[in-house]
Structure 1
Amino acid sequence: MKQLKLKNGQNLTIRTAKKEDALNLIRYVNKIGGESDFLTFGDNEFNITIEKEEAILESHIGVENKIYLIAEIENEIAGSLNYSGRARQRTKHTGEFGISVAKRYWGLGIGKELIKYMIDWAEKGNVVRKINLRVREDNETAINLYTKLGFKKEGIISREFYIDGKYYSSIFMGLEIN
Structure 2
Amino acid sequence: MKESNLKNGQALTIRTAKKEDALNLINYINKIGGESDFLTFGNNEFDISIEKEEAILESYIDAENKIYLIAEIENEIVGSLNYSGGIRQRTKHTGEFGISVAKKYWGLGIGKELIRYMIDWAKEGNVVRKINLRVREDNEAAINLYTKLGFKKEGIISRDFHVDGKYYSSIFMGLEID
TM-score range, shorter chain: over 0.9
**Distance between the aligned counterparts of 1:61 and 1:107, measured in 2?**
29
**Aligned AA (1:141):** A
Counting only pairs closer than 5 Å after superposition, residues 25-64 of structure 1 correspond to structure 2 as 25-64=25-64
1:109-154, Cα deviation, whole Å (9 max, x unpaired)? 0000000000000000000000000000000000000000000000
Q: Which runs of 5+ in 2 are unaligned?
A: none
1:167 shift after superposition: 0.3
- Which segments of structure 1 move beyond 2 Å, counting only runs of 4 or more? none
Counting only pairs closer than 5 Å after superposition, residues 97-108 of structure 1 correspond to structure 2 as 97-108=97-108
Helix, strand or coil: the match of 1:133?
Answer: strand
- Which residue matches 1:175? 175
- Which residue matches 1:143? 143
Counting only pairs closer than 5 Å after superposition, residues 116-155 of structure 1 correspond to structure 2 as 116-155=116-155
1:31-84, Cα deviation, whole Å (9 max, x unpaired)? 000000000000000000000000000000011100000000000000000000
- Which residue matches 2:6? 6
Helix, strand or coil: the match of 2:59?
Answer: helix
Identity of aligned residues (%): 87
**Distance between the aligned counterparts of 1:61 and 1:2, measured in 2?**
17
Helix, strand or coil: the match of 2:44?
Answer: coil
Helix, strand or coil: the match of 1:135?
Answer: strand
**Distance between the aligned counterparts of 1:49 and 1:62, measured in 2?**
22
How many residues are paired up?
Answer: 178
**Distance between the aligned counterparts of 2:81 and 2:57, measured in 1?**
12
Q: Given the two structures, how large is their TM-score scaled by the length of structure 1?
A: 1.00
Counting only pairs closer than 5 Å after superposition, residues 87-98 of structure 1 correspond to structure 2 as 87-98=87-98
RMSD of Structure 2 on Structure 1 (CA): 0.3
Q: Given the two structures, how large is their TM-score scaled by the length of structure 2?
A: 1.00
**Aligned AA (1:122):** A
